[in-house]
Amino acid sequence: MLPLTGYAERLSARPGETLRFHVANATGAPVVASVVRVRCADPNPEIGGVDTEPVAIAVTTLTEPAPQGVPNGSYGVLGSAGLLSGVSDCTFSIRIQPTLALARRQVVLSCLDEGGRGMELELTPALTLRASIGTAGGTAVIETGSPVSLHAWAQVTLTVDSTGGALHLSVIALGVPAATESVSIALTAPALLDAGSRRLSLASASDKAPVDTFNGRLEHPVLVSRALRGEPADLAATQAPIEGCLGAWDFSREMHTQRLVDTGPGQHHGELVNTPTRAVRGARWTGQEHCFRHAPNEYGAIHFHDDDLDDCRWPATHAITLPDGLASDAYALILKAGEVEENIPFFVVPPRGKAHAKIAVLVSTFTYTVYGNHARPEWMTDPRWREAHIAQTRAWHAYPYNPGEHRDYGLSTYNYHTDGSGIGLVSWRRPMLNLRVGYFTYPYPEIRGSGLRHYPADSHLLMWLAHQGHAVDLITDVELDREGAALLEPYHVVVTGSHPEYHTTQMLDALQSYRDTGGRLVYLGGNGFYWKIALDPSREGIVEIRRGEGGIRAWAAEPGEYYNQFDAQYGGLWRRNDRPPQKLVGVGFTAQGNFVGSHYRINPAARTDPRVSWIFDGVTADTVGGEGFSGHGAAGFELDRVDKRLGSPANAVVVAASEDHPPEAPWMLVPEEQLTHITTIPGQTHKQLIRADMTYFDCPGGGEVFSVGSITFCGSLPVNHFDNDISRILDNVLRRFSR
């Protein structure tokens, strides 16, 4: 755990609003907090290093920060306390699919309290199932002799037969012939079940915290207040009402919520903690339907992980009230405790309905969150890479903590859960170490390259805008999703950062409406508008991604699991949802390589075409962008190109295209364009498709679009103290678009 860290309750706020911060302090020293305006988040000495200025905003200490743990692990709580009170006999049935063997136990269900009252069902390190029952005569324990199989479904039934003086545990491997095990033990008198007063917890040994959590899928638990003898073990499959039913929780219902619906007569509904994954295949999935809305009975499972985290749940320790008139910009809360320092960035957006500038910069806070705490594989697998990163961090006095080393705060959707399944649900209510002033992603032996991505990389754009004298407002993904086109309407031009990758339907609708009604859109990144995301409908800051069917991706969603639990819509690539990036900004993702860049070659015809010649006013060279703080060049890492087949407008003009990309990258064509190792969907060679197209087009409604098609473009803006051709090109575009 870090000695001092924290998070903001949200990533953006408006003047007049109060923003709270949640800070954990294990240093033993008092915490001093202040607010700064962030001029540059790049720690590279060549660019001048991190640059901030103090802001006179009072910070209120709500409570002294103390050491805090992180409640990793999802679980559920069923019904109210004492659900089994007065019950002597009972039967519990559930379908389970464990996905990870651990050296510790993994609890499936529990209401066992500290005094040994209640009952518990657990998966042992040997993958056998063990049940513990608290009776008036002591604790009875029963265990199967054979292990269950990982990634396979089993029906588990536990029967407490106090009247008959026996305890039964049955395991039926589903889909496997003759794979059944039943064990029984005698209960000694007095043998009445002592239920205790604790609530039933699912996938945790506690109903108040994640303890001994379970990894895997659980489906349709049923609890009956009598010992069922000779009746169907799979109570969830029973159609007729079950006599004595205390609860029958159907996980296929209300998947967009954290509610566990009890279909039994008692309506003992439950709730989930830490947002496990829903809308996943259950034991009854046939493969005939891939949308859970069409076959809900086949999607009655929940996937629990011992590293799920939707909120650190730390108390709010500090608060600031943003004064009226505070400039829209990037800010940070600075925390100091003894020799230790931490920063928590946030963004100030204009008051609702008011624009203070002609230019709006769209800050990609959803993309920042999706990448939050990305632990890069090189950190774990390449000691030289890790050592180079540590050495450069020290030399540059950069942000000292890396998600690869500090994995306690939940990883990104570019990482895996401990059981090997992909992470698809993330939240900003936790420290995100790569969303920090001074953080860099890639180490470089040369001092010129900064190796930045996301928030620190976007500061290259913000510092350039300030240097050029462009007045701007910052808006974020949150405001765009909520307020739509009305948020954009006052602005002459909307500018993206380096990597606006993740978007909701509402965001794309707003941008398209803005463009088609006369707005000017400047897309300054690569691999943008690529993945479709869903947001939790009732809780701010929780984002869902399903990585299905195509796309360059860190993991692949399982077949049948391409639909979002939050909005029940098909997820995955926007291209597969009939909204390729080319339809919005003229270019779309085509290729990815290592974090290296090249230059653009200007199309000679563009210099004489009156539609676009103004873009190159003051630019005499044939190639531009051969230097940069990101990848050493303006065209690199992830590239976008024009494709009229995918929706690039017929009047789109490629004013410049990249070339001579370093072969050592190596470069990979996006899978959705690839047919075989030598053929592609567009029909061109792989090499022909590896390029960034700098593109311009206008729209019938008067709108205009300028796109650069490269993630590393903004890194070239500060070269030579902002005196370079990439700077001149963007300045020409913004001055024309913002007239």
* Architecture per CATH, 4-69+312-346: Sandwich (2.60)
Rounded CA gap, 636 and 526, in Å? 9
Q: Do residues 95 and 123 make contact, with C-beta atoms less than 8 angstroms apart?
A: no
Q: Looking up tokens 């950190």, which residue turns up? A: 379
Question: Which are the contacts of 15, defined by CB distance < 8 A and separation ≥ 6?
Answer: 322, 323, 324, 325, 326, 348, 350, 351
Q: What is the pLDDT of residue 151?
A: 97
Q: Are 655 and 694 in contact (CB under 8 A)?
A: yes
In 3D space, the residue among 155, 162, 167 whose CA is nearest the CA of residue 108 turns out to be 155
Q: What is the pLDDT of residue 179?
A: 73
Quick check: helix, strand or coil at residue 560? coil
Which H/E stretch holds residue 466? Answer: helix 454-468
Three-state SS at 700: coil
Residue 13 contacts residue 346 (beta carbons within 8 Å):
yes
Rounded Cα distance, 676 and 475, in Å: 42
pLDDT score at 235: 79
The structure tokens 């098609």 sit at: 709
Structure tokens at 486: 């009305």
In the prediction, which pLDDT does 139 show?
A: 84
Residue 494: what residue type? Answer: V
Residue with tokens 């709270």: 20
Other CB atoms within a 10 A radius of the CB of residue 518 amount to 13
Helices 725-737, 454-468: crossing angle, 10 deg rounding: 70
Quick one: pLDDT at residue 192?
Answer: 60
| Close Cβ partners of 368 (under 8 Å, ≥ 6 residues apart) | 11, 428, 432, 435, 454, 455
Quote the pLDDT of residue 186.
83
Give the phi and the psi of residue 38 in degrees, each rounded to 5. Answer: -95, 115
What is the rounded CA–CA span in Å between residue 46 and residue 48? 6
Would you say the CATH fold of 75-304 matches that of 4-69+312-346? Answer: no
User: Cβ distance 160 to 182 under 8 Å?
Assistant: no
Q: Is 118 helix (H, G, I), strand (E, B) or coil?
A: strand
User: Is the peptide bond preceding residue 190 cis, with omega within 30 degrees of 0?
Assistant: yes
- Angle, CA 309 vertex, CA 308 and CA 313 arms, to 5°: 150
């009247």: which residue's tokens? 163
For the domain made up of 75-304, the CATH class stated in words is mainly beta
**pLDDT averaged over 10-residue windows placed end to end, the chain, 739 residues:** 97 98 98 98 96 98 98 97 85 96 98 87 98 81 94 95 88 81 78 74 97 98 89 69 91 97 95 98 96 97 98 98 97 98 98 96 98 94 94 96 95 98 98 98 79 97 98 98 98 98 98 98 98 97 94 95 98 97 98 94 98 98 96 95 97 97 86 92 91 97 97 97 98 97
| Burial per residue of 14-52, b for 16 or more beta-carbon CB atoms within 10 angstroms, e otherwise | bbeeebbbbbbbbbeeebebbbbbbbbbbbbeebeebbb
**Residue-level pLDDT at 446:** 63
For 468, the token pair is: 């050029």
Enter the tokens of residue 45.
């000495």
Q: In the chain, where are the structural domains located? A: 4-69+312-346, 75-304
| Cβ proximity of 163 and 88 under 8 Å | yes
Distance separating alpha carbons of residues 280 and 654, to the nearest angstrom = 43
CB 476 within 8 A of CB 345: no
Q: Where do runs of H (alpha helix) occur along 260-405? A: 365-370, 377-381, 383-396
pLDDT at 681: 93
